[in-house]
């Protein structure tokens, strides 16, 4: 069976929030805005949303305490603040949008233990989510996932329901304030989404079509990442590639690089996109479907894996782990049945260890 389902309406334009303000009125009279502490106040995204809500006389609360790789505690706090909200607007990077989805689940399903609601119960509904992304990498605006930090299990983990935002409002102006390191880390996240989707066991004609287009786009602007500044035109290419990558992984999920990246973020505080990027070449090296690997490299504009490796090494450096850490993180990944099941080859603990070792 082959299927494709991605119900989010994407509206992309400059000034998109104000131009489409009528859309907010469909969702009710009480909104919760979920955002980080800083960036959305500076890049104009939060201001645009609050101005529109005020003009429309839609009441709102702002939960602006979302931290990177949001922990469950953030979600519980946010749900408390917005307990009577009818819809949520997530403004910011993947952390803010993921938090918005999880808060939406807790507001819609307030009874019971929040940890169990988020990680054990499946198929729960959320109140509607509107996404206003400001980073060009996670694609969270077009995925049903929410990746949360779960300190009880010392890891990052997807919640167990599926929540697609209703609307993704894309305005390149909000992305322009990203400093080079944040921009590069997040752009690499989208690159790994594309690669993992293409190598995934459930890749199909529809996800492949999206990936092939987006890899080509990503390849045309890849060298810009070495520069400190980026034009609006070039960042728009990364923005589109990221949203497309979200659409692709919304079908296939991600696999080993994301699973291997989670401990790097949890224990070593390495940014999510960079963590995946550090292991992606060694991952591609063990993939048995060499034809697909070659096609990825070709679409990106690399002659071979070695050149791809050189590019990424120059951009983000190498992994730095000791033997004990490698064993511990590989064992963590070996328990991640969701990520293992997405990879078409049989994978042993030694394979996982080797991916980390080859990334040093
Ligand atoms: P992020 O964690 O949302 O934000 C990283 C940093 O960038 C924060 O300090 C944030 O500041 C800042 N920032 C955001 N937008 C900015 C802008 N326009 N200008 C300047 N600074 C800005 O980063 P992210 O890479 O977008 O998201 C990573 C998270 O997404 C991880 O938790 C990852 O697991 C998750 N993820 C989710 C999916 C999915 O499908 N749902 C896929 C991949 C990754 P503030 O805190 O002040 O806002
Ligand atoms: Fe990711």
- At residue 348, the pLDDT reads 97
Q: Calculate how far, in angstroms, residue 5's C-alpha sits from the geometric centre of ligand 2.
A: 19
Low-confidence ranges of the chain (pLDDT < 70): none
Tokens at 174, concatenated: 């909000």
Tens of pLDDT, residues 266-297: 999 999 999 999 999 999 999 999 999 999 99
Pocket test of ligand 1: the residue of 8, 35, 39 to mutate, having most ligand atoms within 8 Å of its CB, is 39
Residue with the nearest Cα to atom 23 of ligand 1? 93
Are 85 and 127 contacting, i.e. CB atoms less than 8 angstroms apart?
Answer: yes
How far apart are alpha carbons 106 and 73 in whole angstroms? 12
Per-residue pLDDT, 78: 98
- Ligand 1 pocket test: pick from 36, 158, 271 the residue with the most ligand atoms within 8 Å of its Cβ: 36
Quote the pLDDT of residue 243: 98
Question: Which is the closest atom of ligand 1 to the Cα of 37?
Answer: 47
Q: How many CB atoms lie within 10 A of CB 202?
A: 15
Asked if residues 214 and 244 have their Cβ atoms less than 8 Å apart, the reply is yes
- Residues 45-98: pLDDT tens digits? 999 999 999 999 999 999 999 999 999 999 999 999 999 999 999 999 999 999
Could you tell me the CA-to-CA distances from 236 to 22, 57, 136, 161, 192 in Å, in that order? 25, 32, 9, 31, 18
Q: Is 202 helix (H, G, I), strand (E, B) or coil?
A: coil
CA of 276 to the centre of ligand 2 (A): 8
Pairing of strands 147-150, 129-133: unpaired
Q: Would you state the pLDDT for residue 349?
A: 98
CA gap 29, 57 in Å, rounded: 8
Q: What local confidence, expressed as pLDDT, does residue 257 receive?
A: 98
Mutate to test the pocket of ligand 1, among 74, 138, 275 (most ligand atoms within 8 A of CB): 138
**b/e burial code for range 276-313 (CB count within 10 A of at least 16 → b):** bbbbbbbbbebbeeeebbebbbebbbbeebeebbebbe
Q: Ligand 1 pocket: which residues have CB below 6 Å?
A: 36-40, 43, 68-69, 92-96, 98, 134-135, 137-140, 143, 145-147, 156, 174-175, 177-178, 182, 186, 189, 272-273
Which ligand has the shortest distance to the CA of 264?
1
pLDDT computed for residue 251 by the predictor: 98
Measured in angstroms, how far is the CA atom of residue 61 from the centroid of ligand 1? 21
Ligand 2 centre distance from Cα of residue 159 (Å): 14
**Measuring from atom 19 of ligand 1, which residue has the nearest CA?**
178
What global pTM score does this model have? 0.98
């Amino acid at each position: 069976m082959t299927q494709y389902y991605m119900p989010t309406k994407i509206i992309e334009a400059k000034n998109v929030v104000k131009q489409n303000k009528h859309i907010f009125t469909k969702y009710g009279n009480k909104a919760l805005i979920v955002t980080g502490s800083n960036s959305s106040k500076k890049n104009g995204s939060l201001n645009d949303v609050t101005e529109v809500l005020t003009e429309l006389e839609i009441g709102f609360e702002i939960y602006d305490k979302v931290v990177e790789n949001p922990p469950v505690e953030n979600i519980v706090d946010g749900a408390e603040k917005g307990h009577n909200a009818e819809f949520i607007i997530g403004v910011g990077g993947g952390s803010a949008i993921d938090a918005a989805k999880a808060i939406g689940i807790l507001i819609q399903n307030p009874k019971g233990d929040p940890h169990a609601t988020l990680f054990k119960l499946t198929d729960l509904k959320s109140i509607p989510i509107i996404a206003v992304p400001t980073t060009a990498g996670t694609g969270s605006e077009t995925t049903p996932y929410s990746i949360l930090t779960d300190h009880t299990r010392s890891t990052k983990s997807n919640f167990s329901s599926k929540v697609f935002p209703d609307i993704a409002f894309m305005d390149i102006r909000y992305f322009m304030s990203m400093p080079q390191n944040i921009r590069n880390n997040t752009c690499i996240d989208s690159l790994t989404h594309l690669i993992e989707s293409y190598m995934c066991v459930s890749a199909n004609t529809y996800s492949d079509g999206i990936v092939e287009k987006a890899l080509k786009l990503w390849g045309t602007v890849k060298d810009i990442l070495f520069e400190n500044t980026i034009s609006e035109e070039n960042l728009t290419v990364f923005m589109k590639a990221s949203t497309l990558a979200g659409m692709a992984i919304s079908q296939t999920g991600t696999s080993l690089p994301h699973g291997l990246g989670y401990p790097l973020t949890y224990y070593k505080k390495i940014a999510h996109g960079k963590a995946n990027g550090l292991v992606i070449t060694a991952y591609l090296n063990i993939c048995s479907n060499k034809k697909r690997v070659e096609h990825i490299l070709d679409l990106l504009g690399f002659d071979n894996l070695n050149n791809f490796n050189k590019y990424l090494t120059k951009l983000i450096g190498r992994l730095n782990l000791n033997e004990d850490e490698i064993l511990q993180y590989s064992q963590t990944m070996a328990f991640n049945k969701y990520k293992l099941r997405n990879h078409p080859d049989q994978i042993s603990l030694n394979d996982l260890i080797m991916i980390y070792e080859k990334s040093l």
